[in-house]
């Protein structure tokens, strides 16, 4: 999971983010980013990473029960502990995130879309659900739409980052979709651009775009400035998908970049949502 890209989607300290939500959002952000760094950064072995995440989980459980955390991550849990109590943050959503980070250490291939969706359910969807919890939005339809947006955003980031993830040994393109398009793992590992790999990426981008469009009506349910923030998130995901398409789905070799011109396009489209 590309933590830098994924967690930049948090509305931390944004002028669109209502001030009263900034402390809990910042606490959740730093909790998630630190856990992602434990799983993904540095030279630690997989065994060491898993042990560190287990200790991190123990600290989360401690502060959720009003006990003291260890001294290893003081800034994270000193901020998160009070927010858990004040905002009654659902603990299972935070432990789902840790489960996804643990999985990323040991699992680098996905058999089918269902496996990848299960990963997104724990790596991405908790973020949207935590934000909706803060905004006081709890109905089932809204939660489902939030899941669609978060999963779509995770998927489109995967398809954007193929040229970086695959050299690191991580293939998020499901094996069943590879087979449907006549692509084998060796082609992906060699980062060949063929008509089949382009079709595979195009199909994957279409999947992400469809999910984003299914979730997009949620922007009208989230109140105030937070709703505008969510509009920008949706438009950001759709713009990445558009950029991949403009590269003729060749992201096995090239990563599309979102620049200032894209920000203007996203802003304009946000106004017209």
pLDDT, tens digit (0-9, with 9 covering 90-100), for 193-209:
999 999 999 999 999 99
Residue 217 reports pLDDT greater than 70:
yes
pTM listed for this prediction? 0.92
Q: Whole-angstrom Cα distance, residue 57 to residue 62?
A: 9
Residue 23 reports pLDDT greater than 90:
yes
Q: Do 239 and 190 sit in the same domain of this protein? A: yes
Single residue among 79, 106, 133 that ends a domain in this structure: 106
Q: The domain spanning residue 184 has which CATH number? A: 1.10.600.10
Q: With bands split at pLDDT 50, 70 and 90, how would you rate the model's confidence at 5?
A: very low
Pick the range with the lowest mean pLDDT from 16-20, 152-156, 181-185, 187-191. 16-20
Q: Do 92 and 135 sit in the same domain of this protein? A: no
Q: Do 123 and 13 sit in the same domain of this protein? A: no
**Residue 187 Cα to chain centre, angstroms:** 26
Q: Are 146 and 211 in contact (CB under 8 A)?
A: no
Q: Do 41 and 137 sit in the same domain of this protein? A: no
Q: Please state, rounded to an integer, the average pLDDT across all residues of the chain.
A: 92
Residue 13 reports pLDDT greater than 80:
no
Write the pLDDT tens digit of every residue in 246-255.
Answer: 999 999 999 9
pLDDT, residue 243, reads 97
Q: Do 134 and 255 sit in the same domain of this protein? A: yes
Residue 273 reports pLDDT greater than 90:
no
pLDDT, residue 272, reads 81
Q: Do 183 and 247 sit in the same domain of this protein? A: yes
Single residue among 49, 80, 106 that ends a domain in this structure: 106
pLDDT, residue 65, reads 97
Q: Do 117 and 51 sit in the same domain of this protein? A: no
Q: Do 168 and 257 sit in the same domain of this protein? A: yes
Q: Do 26 and 126 sit in the same domain of this protein? A: no
Q: Do 86 and 140 sit in the same domain of this protein? A: no
Single residue among 72, 106, 140 that ends a domain in this structure: 106
Q: What domain range is 33 assigned to?
A: 1-106
Q: Do 23 and 81 sit in the same domain of this protein? A: yes
Write the pLDDT tens digit of every residue in 118-142.
Answer: 999 999 999 999 999 999 999 999 9
pLDDT, residue 2, reads 43
For the stretch 216-220, contacts whose Cβ atoms lie closer than 8 Å and that sit 24 or more positions apart, written own/partner, are: 216/145, 216/149, 216/273, 217/145, 218/142, 218/145, 218/146, 218/149, 219/273
Q: Do 9 and 137 sit in the same domain of this protein? A: no
Q: What is the CA radius of gyration of the chain?
A: 19
Q: Whole-angstrom Cα distance, residue 43 to residue 99?
A: 21
Q: With bands split at pLDDT 50, 70 and 90, how would you rate the model's confidence at 4?
A: very low
- Counting the structural domains of the chain, the total is 2
For residue 120, give the nearest of 164, 152, 159, 98 by alpha carbon.
152
For residue 130, give the nearest of 3, 36, 11 by alpha carbon.
11
Q: With bands split at pLDDT 50, 70 and 90, how would you rate the model's confidence at 14?
A: low
Number of H helices and E strands in the chain, helices first, is: 14, 0
Please give the C-alpha separations between residue 253 and each of 13, 148, 159, 166, 205, in angstroms, as whole numbers.
Answer: 34, 28, 11, 10, 16
């Amino acid at each position: 999971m590309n933590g830098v890209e994924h967690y930049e989607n948090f509305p931390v300290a944004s002028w669109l983010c209502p001030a009263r939500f900034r402390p809990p959002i910042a606490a959740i952000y730093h909790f998630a980013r630190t856990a992602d760094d434990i799983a993904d950064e540095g030279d630690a072995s997989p065994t060491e990473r898993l042990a560190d995440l287990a200790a991190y989980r123990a600290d989360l459980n401690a502060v959720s029960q009003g006990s003291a955390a260890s001294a290893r991550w003081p800034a994270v849990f000193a901020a998160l502990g009070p927010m858990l109590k004040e905002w009654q943050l659902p603990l299972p959503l935070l432990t789902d995130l840790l489960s996804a980070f643990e999985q990323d250490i040991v699992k680098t291939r996905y058999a089918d879309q269902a496996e990848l969706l299960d990963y997104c359910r724990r790596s991405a969807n908790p973020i949207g659900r935590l934000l909706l919890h803060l905004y006081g939005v709890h109905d089932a339809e809204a939660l489902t739409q939030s899941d669609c947006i978060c999963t779509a955003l995770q998927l489109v980031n995967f398809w954007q980052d193929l040229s970086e993830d695959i050299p690191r040994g991580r293939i998020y393109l499901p094996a069943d979709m590879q087979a449907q398009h006549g692509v084998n793992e060796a082609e992906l590992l060699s980062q060949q651009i063929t008509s089949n790999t382009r079709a595979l990426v195009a199909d994957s981008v279409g999947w992400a775009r469809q999910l984003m469009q299914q979730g997009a009506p949620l922007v009208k349910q989230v109140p105030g400035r937070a709703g505008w923030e969510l509009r920008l998130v949706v438009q950001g995901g759709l713009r990445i998908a558009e950029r991949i398409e403009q590269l003729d789905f060749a992201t096995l070799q090239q990563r599309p970049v979102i620049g200032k011109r894209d920000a203007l396009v996203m802003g304009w489209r946000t106004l017209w949502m």
